[in-house]
Homo-oligomer: A and B are copies of this chain.
Amino acid sequence: MKKQKEVVVALDGSGNEKGNAAVVSAVNFALTMYPSLRLLIFGSSSLLDDLKRQNIDPKRYEFHLAQQTIPQDESPRAVIKGYPRAAMRYALEAVRDGEAQSAISGGGTGPLVALSRHILGTIGNYRPALAARIPVSTGKFALMLDLGANSAYKAQDLCDFACLGQAMARLSLNIEEPRIALLNIGIEEHKGPAILQEARSLIKADRSLYYVGFLEANRIFCGDADVIVTDGFTGNIALKAAEGVATLLGRGAGVKRFFARMARPEWLMPWQYNGSLLLGVNGTVVKSHNSAGNEAMAVAMVEAAKAALADFGSELASSLKKS
């Protein structure tokens, strides 16, 4: 049997609101699923205590104490200047220095994006974006981006997101010519704000992109497109609204609750798509929801391990530089 090459994931153990339990459980899950995985874990001494209590093989991970935690809403400037000993920073530096093939963090989106850009640098002139695989039917996925890496944006940024999404779809969905759509309030050409008209022109003009048109939000999960391009604000609103309904339908009381559990397509559950990738920086960075529970955190860890195994960051960078 061929021995699988070892891969290393750097884990920011400080960001999860649900505390150490979700982190420890995700660590356990990922190490079990990927025998060739090793972890660099950065966090508090209490996290180390909790890890030790789990009897995880000490050869599978290396723990480094990180004294600082970056608040979710810290300003980019303060993030870069003020936290030399933060777990998030250590994890990103491990990727930069080649000690890990990917980093995963449940820290704030703002701090993670700012610090990733600062430490890893961006690929060419691309504006980085957070992309997630979203389920479109059993075992099938589309990509959606940006999911919050940027607050302000221009039409050219949406065109960048289309390029980043195309490269990721080729790598992680194995689709050579992914269908690219722009999220909008109607499918007719004149619909929506001027910035979307302009973005459409830019994307259409780029012959390397296979643009299929505008997409309405009620069609996000229908598989009409492989890459759904939007801005960070709108992407957040759309996915959270969808998640809200999916969660509500999973509740109910009494017999309704039973029927709901039997009916619910597992592929649509929100925790299925935790773990978004920050595209456009030199290195692989996975963002987990900071409120992710055990299942969701494990999904994100697996995403980080898979990306590390595939050497996702370098592959993406070289594919973008070629085009």
Give chain A's interface residues, CB within 8 Å of chain B. Answer: 72-73, 148, 151-152, 183, 185, 188, 190-193, 216-222, 232-234, 236-249, 252, 255-260, 262-265, 268
Contact = CB atoms under 8 A, between A and B. Distances in A.
Main secondary structure of the interface of A (DSSP, over half): helix
Nearest to A238: B241
Copies of this chain held together in the complex:
2
A90 B237 CA distance: 38
Contacts of A234: 233-234, 237
25 contacts: A72-B188, A73-B191, A148-B185, A151-B193, A183-B237, A185-B236, A216-B240, A217-B236, A217-B244, A218-B243, A220-B241, A220-B244, A221-B244, A221-B245, A221-B248, A222-B244, A234-B237, A242-B242, A245-B246, A245-B249, A248-B268, A249-B263, A256-B263, A259-B259, A262-B263
Given A217-B244, A221-B245, A245-B249, 11 more contacts: A216-B240, A217-B240, A218-B241, A220-B244, A222-B248, A233-B234, A242-B245, A245-B245, A256-B262, A256-B265, A260-B264
A189 to B, nearest CB: 9
Nearest to A190: B73
Contact of A245 (B183, B188, B268): B268
Contacts of A192: 151, 233
A153 to B, nearest CB: 10
A18 to B, nearest CB: 17
Given A233-B192, A237-B183, A237-B237, A244 B260 contact: no
A193 B249 contact: no
Nearest to A72: B188
A249 B188 CA distance: 27
A185 B237 contact: yes
Contacts of A263: 249, 252, 256-260, 262-264
